[in-house]
Chain A
Amino acid sequence: MSAPLVTEAEAAATAPATEPAVGTRSAWRTFFRQPSGLLAAAVLVVMVLLAVFAPLIADEPGGTSPDVLRSPSGGHLFGTDDLGQDIFAQVVWGTRTSLLIGVAASLIAIVLGTAIGLASAYFRRVDAVGTVVTDVMLALPTLPLMIMLAAIVNPSVWTLTVIIGVFAWPEVARLIRSQGLVVSAMPYIDGARVLGASGWRIVTREILPAVVPLIVVSVLLTASRAVISEAGLSFLGLGDPDAWSWGRILLNAQRSGVVAIAWWQTLFPSLAILLLVLAATVAGMRFNDIRDPRRNGG
């Protein structure tokens, strides 16, 4: 949302290891050693299971029922909305959309951001253009831009994914570029150049592997931003009308004017957003700890 969790300076300061500083097994141990890492991973796994098995957990919400605006009870865990639809079912089905868009948009942003960041780090000429474009994108208010585009194309899960992904890459590019610059200056890159390796080969075979750990961190942090963006667009009425999403539940509460009465209709989707984004962010930070051996204290 706001200030970057992994700053450019931090990324550059971390000497990228050409070989992982710690073995895979002990890396996982580092990840899980702190309870926050374990908890974050558990929340993410539960969310994925909810999304995958949504049809088995709850019927797809739709239609109307006489049970309007019921507060949470045994029959309706999260209560019902003004149409009598079950909020629990809406939240469960909303998990699908949020996760799908979060992950897919994050992948688009990562591919674009990594390509642009690495090319900028190694090729001087690309850097001149790449840096200007990245700076411009970072300077502009992204949400109004995404709103404008989403309003013009008919919003669906896929168009939203593309729009969010296409505007989330600059942060990734900046992070990858700053670490790519450090790697580019390393002696083994000169070595590869002396041996006659092409620029393409150096970027893809020598520099890319060195920034992979940072990419893993970026995927998680970018996905959490994408989830927030999707919720924002859906809340403004730009979500996929055929798919449930947490932002849409909040929009329904806002539109039907029941916010002050039906607290459950805003509380549960809000908690879902908070939990998912928090878990992804914490997981990203724990991965970042593994990446930087100085921080994990052995």
Chain B
Amino acid sequence: MARFVLNRALKAVLTVWIAITATFFLLRLLPGDPTTLMVEGDMTPEMRAALLKTYGLDRPLLEQYVSYLRELLHGNFGISFRQIQPVSDILLDRLPWTLLLAGVAFLLTIAVGIPIGVYAAAHRGRWPDRLLQGFGIAGHALFVPSVAMLLLVWLGARLGWFPIGGAIDPDTRGLAAYLSLAHHLVLPVASLVLVQLGPYALTLRTNLIDVLGEDYIRAARARGLSGRRRLWKHGLRNAILPALTLMGLQLGTLVGGAVLTETVFAYPGVGRLIYEAVGQRDYPVLQGAFIMLAITVVVANALTDLLYAVLNPRIRL
């Protein structure tokens, strides 16, 4: 167990390190001097000096890189140009919202996707299956902001069922605050789930059909187990683990979708922050946001893998 966890953790650290290193050098290879990018005219000379000192931009590239890594390890992501406060503070303010949004969407996609996939596999070739195939292919063509705007206009603005922006009503306390939180979460989560669900359930259905062709399912049939029992007890149990892994692989896409959804609904997460930072060309924030999201995705992916190992009886830890 310890060895497996250590290996997986090492892989995660390696991935994040490569991401950070590649970003660092890429940004310096691109046209434009990093000093002009990082220091803007409307800062005081003291701020400018502090920034230059923080980044050590006068030193050789390799030395800069080492100190950049050291600062990151200490949680220093630099200073935002526009908000004149540490990027790490801004990011930590916003990150919980993105984790909430993406986390709920992640769990809901799995919770809804599995029954749909199983049902389609059980009715292979008949209309529920055909419907899923259509929906699964169409899912690849759905553009997150389109879906989000449709929900916003229809269920939010026209019918008034859900709030059209923000994450919580600031005047609520206690239970009412939680209800308000959930109420604001419905449309952003629905936008993400609608886009992810079809392709996810379709892949699950295909995996399940493969599983249903395996020997132990045939053995179960020979023992006289009913079709429904074979499907739910034997088939699903073996399809759930790949379903988990599959969702783990979608995390990058899910986070990308969250950036777009948050933008539409003015949801105060890292995604909306990115949209604001793009408008203001606030590069330290953009770089910090990417690193933060990369760490989030990599950690979540590692956790998914660990859960897989814990749940899978074939892997002895």
Point out residues on A near B: beta carbons under 8 Å. 1-3, 5, 7, 133, 135-136, 138-145, 147-149, 151-153, 224, 228, 231-232, 235-238, 247, 250, 253-254, 259-260, 263, 266, 269-270, 273-274, 277-278, 281-282, 285
Q: Does B274 contact A (CB under 8 A)?
A: yes
Within the assembled complex, what's the spacing in Å between the Cα atoms of A199 and B202? 40
Q: Does B143 contact A (CB under 8 A)?
A: yes
Q: B153 — which chain A residues lie within 8 A by C-beta?
A: 259-260, 263, 266
In the complex, are the beta carbons of A3 and B199 less than 8 A apart?
Answer: yes
In the complex, are the beta carbons of B200 and A3 less than 8 A apart?
Answer: yes
Binds A, one of B18-26, B44-52, B221-229: B18-26
Q: B14 — which chain A residues lie within 8 A by C-beta?
A: 136
Within the assembled complex, what's the spacing in Å between the Cα atoms of A71 and B286? 38
In the complex, are the beta carbons of B256 and A2 less than 8 A apart?
Answer: no
Q: A143 — which chain B residues lie within 8 A by C-beta?
A: 255-256, 259-260
CB distance from B240 to the nearest CB of A (A): 16
In-complex Cβ contact of B149 among A147, A238, A259 (8 A): A259
In the complex, are the beta carbons of A3 and B246 less than 8 A apart?
Answer: yes
Interface flags for B164-177 (1: CB within 8 Å of A; 0: not) read 10000000000000
In the complex, are the beta carbons of B30 and A153 less than 8 A apart?
Answer: yes
In the complex, are the beta carbons of A141 and B286 less than 8 A apart?
Answer: no
Given A136-B18, A147-B274, A278-B137 contact (CB < 8 Å): yes
Within the assembled complex, what's the spacing in Å between the Cα atoms of A266 and B153? 10
Given A3-B203, A144-B256, A152-B32, A273-B146 contact (CB < 8 Å): yes
Interface flags for B277-291 (1: CB within 8 Å of A; 0: not) read 111010100110110
Within the assembled complex, what's the spacing in Å between the Cα atoms of A144 and B272? 12
Q: Does B189 contact A (CB under 8 A)?
A: no
Within the assembled complex, what's the spacing in Å between the Cα atoms of A235 and B301? 28
Q: Does B236 contact A (CB under 8 A)?
A: no
Known: A136-B14, A136-B18, A144-B290. 19 other contacts (CB 8 A): A2-B139, A2-B196, A3-B250, A133-B18, A140-B297, A141-B256, A144-B255, A144-B259, A147-B259, A148-B283, A151-B286, A250-B145, A254-B263, A254-B264, A273-B141, A274-B141, A277-B140, A277-B141, A278-B140
Interface size class, chain B: 35 or more
A to B CB contacts below 8 Å, 22 in the list: A1-B199, A2-B139, A2-B196, A2-B199, A3-B203, A136-B18, A139-B297, A141-B290, A141-B294, A142-B252, A142-B256, A143-B256, A148-B283, A152-B37, A232-B143, A235-B260, A236-B260, A236-B263, A250-B145, A254-B264, A270-B146, A277-B141
CB distance from B151 to the nearest CB of A (A): 11
In the complex, are the beta carbons of B145 and A153 less than 8 A apart?
Answer: no
Interface flags for B241-266 (1: CB within 8 Å of A; 0: not) read 00000100111110110011001100
Given A144-B293, A260-B157, A151-B252 contact (CB < 8 Å): no
Q: B297 — which chain A residues lie within 8 A by C-beta?
A: 139-141
Within the assembled complex, what's the spacing in Å between the Cα atoms of A2 and B255? 12
Within the assembled complex, what's the spacing in Å between the Cα atoms of A23 and B214? 35
Q: A253 — which chain B residues lie within 8 A by C-beta?
A: 149
In the complex, are the beta carbons of A141 and B202 less than 8 A apart?
Answer: no
Q: Does B67 contact A (CB under 8 A)?
A: no
In the complex, are the beta carbons of B150 and A270 less than 8 A apart?
Answer: yes
Q: B107 — which chain A residues lie within 8 A by C-beta?
A: none
Given A152-B283, A273-B146, A260-B164 contact (CB < 8 Å): yes
Q: Does B31 contact A (CB under 8 A)?
A: yes
Q: A260 — which chain B residues lie within 8 A by C-beta?
A: 152-153, 156-158, 164
- Of the candidates A236, A237, A263, the one having the most CB atoms from chain B within 10 angstroms of its own CB is A236
Q: B19 — which chain A residues lie within 8 A by C-beta?
A: 136, 140
In the complex, are the beta carbons of A224 and B275 less than 8 A apart?
Answer: no
Instruction: Tell me the B261-317 residues at the A interface (CB within 8 Å).
Output: 263-264, 274-275, 277-279, 281, 283, 286-287, 289-290, 293-294, 297-298, 301
In the complex, are the beta carbons of B137 and A285 less than 8 A apart?
Answer: yes
CB distance from A95 to the nearest CB of B (A): 15
Smallest CB gap from A232: residue in B: B260
Q: Does B7 contact A (CB under 8 A)?
A: no
Within the assembled complex, what's the spacing in Å between the Cα atoms of A142 and B200? 19
In the complex, are the beta carbons of A281 and B263 less than 8 A apart?
Answer: no
In the complex, are the beta carbons of B275 and A236 less than 8 A apart?
Answer: yes
Q: B27 — which chain A residues lie within 8 A by C-beta?
A: 148, 152
